[in-house]
């Protein structure tokens, strides 16, 4: 039975992703709720039936009281026994079935699948964002919003279906029932509804912004706490435990104050609602008793009217809390939309085709990129790299080396100029096909928190076990991998490496990264300080591997250790975003320019820190 309801909606059903999701709350919610539209309509119908049955129970109580007042047990039971039995069957069986189906739609169809659908689609959307987009936010905050938004949206939908639909149906039923007894009994209820709606509007108008402020404050706490945990080595190394505690306390105190303001609204709402409900009970009870004294109504009708208003009294607190929670959850959704509803700005051209690799020639034409600023990055760079040519890039920090590499990978769209690979503008080919043809080893060799095997196979998931092992051996990683064991007892290639590879040393991480790129075997190879984390002995052992990787490939290598690129076909010296010098190692030394000064001032094989400018 559960599987039937659980499988009524597939949260992973095909849909057309959009680069610009709705930025307003209700269109945003409507887009995600669309697959549930029929289920929600049926759920509302069942909820109305459940509410109607509750009103009918109270009405039938009035009938029983009146019947009992009209005769003795010997007269009542023979005449109405069958009716009582059918009513009992309705209460025990039919009412239970309808209520059970109603709850199954809510709890087993809508809640688990709606949250899953939102989280799945939101994650897919966020993963399509550019590298620059991620660099401008905190990973912890992004993840927090991906996790918080789906349950909040699910709870909002639940409150609308469970509380709002039930309450509206109950109110309509109560008005019909009381009007059927005597139309005057409906007057206090109508006045109470007007006051209740006004109080609800007052509460929602204030609770919404207050909830949004509380949600923002909680996200700020998460961001600061995650920042401390992510950089725990720095916290411990500089002995800043107390400083980090104070840093978090500031955000926690802000969250406490925003939550207190939110709770003040709730207290005022509770106080006002208690008075409003009391006025309704007194008015309806007094009017019902007066009508009975005047002989205009029966004892059963008085009892039913009192039972109805007492039920509404109890229900109103639940409904007000439900509506307040609805607004709070919508506030969480609105906050989450600040992340998951942001447009994807770096997209494939509508006519983009896969990159067709031929020789691996790279042409850069008048390329400029300053990250939206007036300076920094690249400034009018033009460059031709022949197929299979090995290029070394050197220069001070901030000279534009890394920017060039990021633009080549199309992590950003260039502000001016263009890059062509084998005559194809990379802005006109699909991003995936571009990056599949480029292998890169970065200085920051972060790994996925998965097994060593998974990390190496990330380079080429369809590679065989033998191919994966061969790549690890070429990267001088096989021996230390066999000795690995994680806290869960997994060993060797099955051992997990921890967040960003923290369980491994810097050199070990770099060698796993190298194995991944070796396995990928892309025709274009980018090396950004590829051996910087290796000790001299391992570096010497792996140099042959690196040079082997370069054979037949177009290579761009960034290095501060100039000896690692001295054998390149051509060396480019970058300065202030431009190519200041180019030529072979010997030609540049003979020229006596920037490269010669870098070489002369090397310390331990690296560029002297005095030559480094601040980024």
Once rounded to an integer, what is the mean pLDDT over residues 432-446? 85
602: helix, strand or coil:
coil
Which uninterrupted H or E stretch holds 524?
A: strand 524-528
Once rounded to an integer, what is the mean pLDDT over residues 445-461? 89
Same domain, 318 and 429: no
Same domain, 239 and 292: yes
Same domain, 29 and 164: yes
Once rounded to an integer, what is the mean pLDDT over residues 414-422? 92
Residue 449, domain member (yes or no) = no
Same domain, 101 and 139: yes
Same domain, 240 and 388: no
Is residue 424 within 8 Å of residue 356, measured between CB atoms? Answer: yes
The pLDDT tens digits of the residues spanning 118-130 come to 888 888 888 888 8
- State the pLDDT confidence band at 573, using cuts at 50, 70 and 90: very high
Once rounded to an integer, what is the mean pLDDT over residues 21-31? 84
pLDDT at 534: 61
pLDDT at 604: 42
pLDDT at 613: 40
- State the pLDDT confidence band at 356, using cuts at 50, 70 and 90: very high
Domain limit, last residue, from 315, 340, 365: 340
How far apart, in whole angstroms, are the C-alpha atoms of residue 412 and residue 406? 7
Residue 615, pLDDT > 50, answer no
Once rounded to an integer, what is the mean pLDDT over residues 386-394? 92
Domain limit, last residue, from 340, 372, 392: 340
Pairing of strands 390-395, 554-558: parallel
Once rounded to an integer, what is the mean pLDDT over residues 193-206? 85
- State the pLDDT confidence band at 603, using cuts at 50, 70 and 90: very low
Residue 576, pLDDT > 60, answer yes
Supply the DSSP string of 545-586, one letter for each residue.
Answer: HHHHHHTTSEEEEE-SSGGGTTTSSEEEEEETTEEEEEE-HH
CATH number at residue 605: 3.40.50.300
End-to-end CA distance of the chain: 62
Same domain, 257 and 392: no
Same domain, 20 and 165: yes
pLDDT at 609: 42
Once rounded to an integer, what is the mean pLDDT over residues 460-470? 93
Residue 607, pLDDT > 60, answer no
Domain limit, last residue, from 292, 322, 340: 340
Same domain, 121 and 153: yes
Residue 565, pLDDT > 50, answer yes
- State the pLDDT confidence band at 533, using cuts at 50, 70 and 90: low
How many domains, in total, are found in the chain?
Answer: 2
The pLDDT tens digits of the residues spanning 468-521 come to 999 999 888 899 999 988 888 899 999 998 877 778 887 788 888 889 999 998
Q: Looking at per-residue confidence, does 90 or 329 come out higher?
A: 90
CATH number at residue 247: 1.20.1560.10
Residue 444, domain member (yes or no) = no
How far apart, in whole angstroms, are the C-alpha atoms of residue 127 and residue 167? 41
Q: What percent of the chain has pLDDT over 90?
A: 17
Residue 471, domain member (yes or no) = no
How far apart, in whole angstroms, are the C-alpha atoms of residue 192 and residue 419? 70
Same domain, 170 and 297: yes
Same domain, 309 and 405: no
pLDDT at 314: 80
Q: Compute the chain's Rg from CA coordinates.
A: 35
Residue 562, domain member (yes or no) = no
Domain that holds residue 173: 2-340
pLDDT at 502: 79
pLDDT at 541: 65
Write out the two tokens for 125: 């959307």
pLDDT at 605: 47
Residue 72, domain member (yes or no) = yes
Q: Looking at per-residue confidence, does 467 or 63 come out higher?
A: 467
pLDDT at 539: 66
pLDDT at 452: 92
Q: What is the mean pLDDT of the chain?
A: 84
pLDDT at 549: 78
How far apart, in whole angstroms, are the C-alpha atoms of residue 431 and residue 503? 32
pLDDT at 87: 86
Residue 364, pLDDT > 50, answer yes
Once rounded to an integer, what is the mean pLDDT over residues 5-10? 89
pLDDT at 426: 93
Which uninterrupted H or E stretch holds 384?
A: strand 378-385
């Amino acid at each position: 039975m559960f599987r039937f309801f659980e499988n009524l909606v597939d949260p992973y059903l095909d849909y057309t992703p959009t680069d610009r999701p709705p930025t307003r709350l209700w269109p945003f919610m409507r887009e995600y709720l669309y697959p549930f539209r029929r289920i929600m309509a049926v759920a509302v119908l069942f909820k109305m039936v459940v509410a109607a049955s509750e009103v009918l129970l109270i009405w039938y109580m009035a009938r029983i009281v009146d019947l009992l007042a009209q005769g003795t047990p010997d007269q009542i039971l023979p005449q109405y026994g069958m009716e009582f039995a059918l009513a009992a069957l309705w209460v025990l069986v039919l009412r239970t079935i309808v209520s059970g189906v109603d709850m199954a739609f809510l709890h087993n169809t809508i809640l688990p699948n709606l949250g899953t659908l939102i989280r799945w689609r939101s994650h897919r959307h966020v993963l399509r964002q550019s590298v620059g987009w991620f660099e401008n936010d905190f990973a912890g905050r992004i993840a927090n919003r991906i996790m918080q938004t789906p349950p909040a949206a699910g709870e909002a939908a639940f409150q609308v279906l469970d509380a709002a639909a039930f309450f509206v149906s109950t109110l309509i039923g109560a008005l019909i029932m009381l009007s059927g007894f005597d139309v005057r009994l409906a007057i206090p209820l109508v006045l109470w509804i007007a006051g209740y709606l006004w109080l609800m509007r007052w509460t929602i108008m204030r609770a919404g912004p207050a909830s949004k402020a509380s949600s923002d404050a909680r996200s700020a706490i998460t961001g600061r706490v995650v920042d401390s945990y992510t950089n725990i080595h720095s916290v411990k190394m500089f002995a800043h435990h107390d400083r980090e505690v104070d840093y978090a306390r500031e955000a926690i105190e802000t969250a406490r104050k925003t939550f207190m303001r939110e709770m003040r609204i709730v207290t005022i709402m509770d106080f006002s609602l208690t008075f409003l409900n009391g006025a309704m009970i007194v008015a309806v009870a007094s009017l019902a008793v007066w009508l009975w004294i005047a002989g205009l109504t029966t004892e059963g009708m008085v009892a039913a009217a009192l039972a109805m208003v007492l039920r509404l009294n109890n229900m109103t607190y639940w409904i007000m809390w439900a509506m307040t929670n609805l607004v709070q959850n919508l506030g969480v959704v609105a906050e989450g939309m600040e992340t998951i509803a942001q447009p994807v700005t770096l997209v494939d051209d509508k006519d983009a085709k896969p990159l067709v690799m031929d020789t691996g020639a790279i042409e850069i034409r008048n390329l400029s990129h300053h990250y939206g600023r007036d300076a920094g990055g690249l400034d009018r760079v033009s460059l031709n790299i022949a197929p299979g040519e090995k290029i070394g890039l050197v220069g001070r920090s901030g000279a534009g080396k890394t920017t060039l590499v990021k633009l080549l990978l199309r992590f950003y769209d260039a502000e001016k100029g263009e890059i062509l690979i084998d005559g194809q503008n990379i802005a006109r080919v699909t991003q995936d096909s571009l990056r599949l043809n480029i292998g890169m080893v970065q200085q920051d060799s972060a790994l996925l928190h998965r097994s060593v095997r998974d990390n190496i196979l990330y380079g080429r998931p369809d590679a065989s076990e033998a191919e994966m092992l061969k790549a690890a051996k070429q990267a001088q990683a096989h021996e230390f991998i066999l000795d690995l064991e994680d806290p869960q007892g997994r060993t060797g290639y099955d051992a997990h490496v921890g967040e960003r590879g923290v369980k491994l040393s810097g050199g070990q991480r770099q060698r796993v990264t190298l194995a991944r790129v070796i396995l990928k075997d892309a025709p274009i190879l980018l090396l950004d300080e590829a051996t910087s984390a290796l000790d001299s002995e391992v570096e010497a052992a792996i140099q042959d591997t690196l040079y082997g990787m370069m054979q037949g490939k177009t290579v761009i290598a960034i290095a501060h250790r100039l000896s690692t690129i001295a054998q390149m076909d051509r060396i480019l010296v970058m300065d202030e975003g431009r190519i200041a010098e180019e030529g072979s190692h010997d030609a540049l030394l003979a020229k006596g320019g920037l490269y010669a000064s870098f070489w002369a001032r090397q310390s331990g094989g690296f560029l002297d820190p005095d030559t480094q400018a601040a980024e």
